[in-house]
């Protein structure tokens, strides 16, 4: 931790101590007598379990913490209607299939004090390409040239979605001269500066007094990792925190009164299971088809998500031109699922309720994790409905899911939650999950057809043609039952009355902004 950051942190801690003593042990009001303001935000996902061990955008999913909590910003961003607009960029020009010219806004500095110019952006993107395999695979940057405020990017192949990738959290522009400290803290351009970070515990932020886009309202922000949904619920009820991300849907009725406010929107985040094609169980097409038929999606959404979502057909929700009913998939049909298994030779000869084939019981090892509150509930729901068709489900619900997932002998289906189209473009999901080159093709799925379609998509600029290709790619996945898509979520944050400027966004990137305020 550098000297400046140590001094700021000491001042914050001393101020907090005086503040708590003045409160006399009572639940504090977060506007202090000296006129300063503190905001405490509880989040179930700010942890290593979700790939956010720190706020370094070049490390795993650290960019999500960087951009969500107001530390980092990207060259481009998305409006509430998911239209692309410049952010740190002033404008951009696509001069030919592989060349992009981006003008950087004047008058922006990092929290280190360094000016944000084309050279600084170039340094950041070069470091990103070296450290982040997915970013390198998305961006395909061959060369960059930095003028005063103009950055020219040349790619080795046409990349129609390049501006979208430069709006991804991994593309937060950070000061590489300042670097990344031992705790994973970076210097960005956002309304808040990180001064302290404890993985799986908390992040302390202070106002960036030199922020380029208006003065932030809050002096100190504390992001607390609270992975347990019931604990998060209790913290908001008691006043320990001002707002929360990840309150269980079944707890919502506790906050549906004048003391709290909801901010929410539909997103492309989906609960889905990836089949393990190296498993002797889920490498069987009949088993995959039966699993897809044996999960009651509608029942899960109504009963366990409290209606805060919609049953999924494919990768993308209904409000996307290439989503919803544009594809067809298996529907919940236990009797047909039984027939599929029976025909494939999976029978229950000993009458114990579990089918067998060649002496091997039909046991499905279901891997998931607890910090997305409804994932364990989905596991239990599927355990019940799949059990009715003769599949015994063994649930491994663990924060260490990433390590388990790396061992292909340890699971049959890996069920997680993912924003499938945070940029509004279909390419993201397939590049991330489904191709031979994907960083997270967890089940080892391969399809010659999908690879060919993906190659075509990567070179297609026309949005209507991209949408049609996305439908064909989804249908390929669904025909193979390589994944089962269960439900798209409605994302909500809940805050105590008096909090303003906290607004949910469809891409799930932007949370802490300069507009945030507390009374």
Q: What is the pLDDT of residue 510?
A: 98
pLDDT grade for 8, boundaries at 50, 70 and 90: low
Q: What is the mean pLDDT of the chain?
A: 94
Between CA 105 and CA 117 the distance in angstroms is 8
Output 222 or 1, whichever has higher pLDDT: 222
- End-to-end, the C-alpha distance of the chain in Å comes to 32
pLDDT digits (tens, 9 = 90+) for 244-278: 999 999 999 999 999 999 999 999 999 999 999 99
Between CA 412 and CA 481 the distance in angstroms is 13
Q: Which two tokens stand for residue 86?
A: 């410049």
Q: What is the pLDDT of residue 34?
A: 73
pLDDT digits (tens, 9 = 90+) for 316-342: 999 899 999 999 999 999 999 999 999
Q: What is the pLDDT of residue 150?
A: 99
Q: What is the mean pLDDT of residues 344-371?
A: 98
pLDDT digits (tens, 9 = 90+) for 73-132: 999 999 998 899 999 999 999 999 999 999 999 999 999 999 999 999 999 999 999 999
Neighbours of 142 (CB within 10 A): 12
Between CA 474 and CA 470 the distance in angstroms is 6
Backbone dihedral angles phi then psi of residue 361, each to the nearest 5 degrees: -70, 150
At CA 421, angle to CA 416 and CA 426, rounded to 5?
Answer: 115
Instruction: State how far Cα 355 lies from the chain centre.
Output: 37
pLDDT digits (tens, 9 = 90+) for 154-192: 999 999 999 999 999 999 999 999 999 999 999 999 999
- Looking at the DSSP assignment, which residues form a beta bridge with residue 265? 491
Q: What is the mean pLDDT of residues 357-386?
A: 98
Q: What is the mean pLDDT of residues 63-67?
A: 99
Q: What is the pLDDT of residue 28?
A: 46
Q: What is the pLDDT of residue 4?
A: 56
Q: What is the pLDDT of residue 17?
A: 42
pLDDT over 70 for what percent of the chain?
A: 94
Residue 6 pLDDT greater than 80, yes or no: no
What is the pairing mode between strands 243-245 and 38-43?
parallel
CA distances for 74 relative to 87, 151, 229, 494, 509, angstroms: 6, 14, 31, 26, 11
Query: Are 349 and 360 spatial neighbours (Cβ–Cβ below 8 Å)?
Result: no
Q: What is the pLDDT of residue 460?
A: 96
Q: Which two tokens stand for residue 516?
A: 């945030």
Query: Are 373 and 249 spatial neighbours (Cβ–Cβ below 8 Å)?
Result: yes
Q: What is the pLDDT of residue 136?
A: 96
Q: What is the mean pLDDT of residues 423-437?
A: 94
- Outline where 330-489 has alpha helix (H): 334-343, 375-387, 401-406, 427-433, 448-458, 463-479
pLDDT grade for 32, boundaries at 50, 70 and 90: low
**DSSP-derived 3-state class of residue 472:** helix
Q: What is the pLDDT of residue 36?
A: 94
pLDDT grade for 19, boundaries at 50, 70 and 90: very low
Number of H helices, E strands in the chain: 14, 21
**DSSP annotation string for 256-296:** -STTEEEEEEEEEEEEEEEE-TTSTTTTSHHHHHHHHHS--
Q: What is the pLDDT of residue 15?
A: 52
Residue 311 pLDDT greater than 60, yes or no: yes
Beta-carbon contacts of 83 under 8 Å, excluding residues fewer than 6 positions away, are none
Residue 478 pLDDT greater than 50, yes or no: yes
Domains of the chain: 3-259+497-518 (3.40.190.10), 266-491 (3.10.105.10)
Residue 5 pLDDT greater than 60, yes or no: no
Residue 18 pLDDT greater than 60, yes or no: no
Q: What is the mean pLDDT of residues 482-509?
A: 97
Nearest-10 Cα torsion for 382, 254, 511, 80: 80
Q: What is the pLDDT of residue 194?
A: 99
Residue 290 pLDDT greater than 90, yes or no: yes
**For the packed helices 448-458 and 463-479, what is the interaxial angle rounded to 10 degrees?**
170
pLDDT grade for 424, boundaries at 50, 70 and 90: confident
């Amino acid at each position: 931790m550098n000297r400046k950051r140590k001094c700021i942190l000491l001042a914050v801690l001393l101020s907090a101590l005086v503040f708590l003593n003045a409160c006399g042990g009572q639940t504090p009001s977060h506007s202090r007598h000296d006129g300063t303001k503190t905001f405490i935000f509880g989040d179930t996902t700010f942890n290593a379990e979700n790939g956010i061990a720190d706020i370094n955008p070049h490390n795993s999913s650290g960019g999500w913490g960087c951009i969500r909590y107001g530390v980092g910003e990207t060259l481009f961003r998305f409006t509430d209607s998911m239209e692309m607009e410049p952010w740190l960029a002033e404008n951009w020009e696509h001069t030919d299939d592989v060349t992009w010219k981006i003008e950087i806004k004047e008058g922006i500095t990092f929290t280190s004090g360094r000016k944000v110019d084309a050279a600084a952006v170039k340094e950041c993107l070069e470091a990103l390409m070296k450290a982040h395999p997915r970013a390198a695979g998305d961006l395909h940057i061959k060369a960059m040239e930095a003028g005063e405020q103009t950055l020219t990017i040349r790619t080795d192949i046409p990349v129609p979605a390049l501006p979208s990738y430069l709006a991804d959290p991994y593309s937060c522009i950070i000061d590489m001269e300042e670097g990344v400290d031992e705790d994973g803290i970076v210097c960005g351009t956002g309304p808040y500066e990180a001064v302290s970070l404890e993985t799986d515990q908390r992040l302390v932020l202070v106002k960036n007094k030199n922020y380029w886009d208006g003065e932030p309202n809050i002096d100190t922000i504390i992001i607390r990792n609270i992975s347990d949904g019931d604990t998060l619920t209790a913290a908001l009820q008691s006043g320990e925190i001002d707002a929360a991300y990840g309150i269980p849907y079944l707890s919502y009725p506790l906050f549906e009164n004048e003391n709290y406010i909801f901010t929410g929107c539909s997103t492309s985040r989906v609960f889905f299971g990836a089949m393990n094609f190296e498993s002797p169980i889920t490498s069987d097409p009949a088993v995959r088809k039966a699993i897809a038929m044996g999960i009651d999606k509608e029942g899960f959404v109504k009963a366990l998500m409290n209606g805060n979502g919609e049953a999924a057909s494919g990768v993308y929700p209904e409000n996307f031109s290439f989503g919803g009913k544009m594809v067809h998939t298996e529907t919940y049909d236990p009797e047909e699922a039984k027939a599929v298994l029976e025909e494939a030779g999976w029978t229950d000869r000993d009458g114990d309720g579990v089918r067998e084939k060649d002496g091997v019981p039909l046991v499905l090892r279901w891997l998931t994790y607890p910090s997305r509150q409804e994932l364990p509930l989905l596991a239990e729901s599927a355990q019940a409905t799949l059990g009715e068709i003769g599949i015994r489900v063994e649930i491994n619900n663990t924060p260490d899911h990433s390590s388990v997932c790396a061992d292909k002998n340890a699971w049959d289906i890996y069920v997680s939650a993912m924003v499938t189209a945070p940029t509004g473009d279909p390419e993201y999901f397939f590049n991330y999950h489904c191709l031979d080159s994907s960083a997270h093709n967890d089940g080892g799925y391969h399809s010659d057809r999908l690879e060919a379609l993906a190659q075509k998509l990567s070179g297609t600029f026309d949005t209507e043609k991209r949408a049609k290709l996305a439908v064909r790619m989804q249908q390929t996945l669904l025909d193979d039952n390589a994944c089962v898509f269960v439900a798209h979520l409605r994302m909500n944050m809940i805050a105590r009355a008096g909090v303003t400027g906290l607004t949910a966004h469809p891409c799930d990137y932007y949370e802490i902004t300069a507009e945030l305020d507390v009374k």
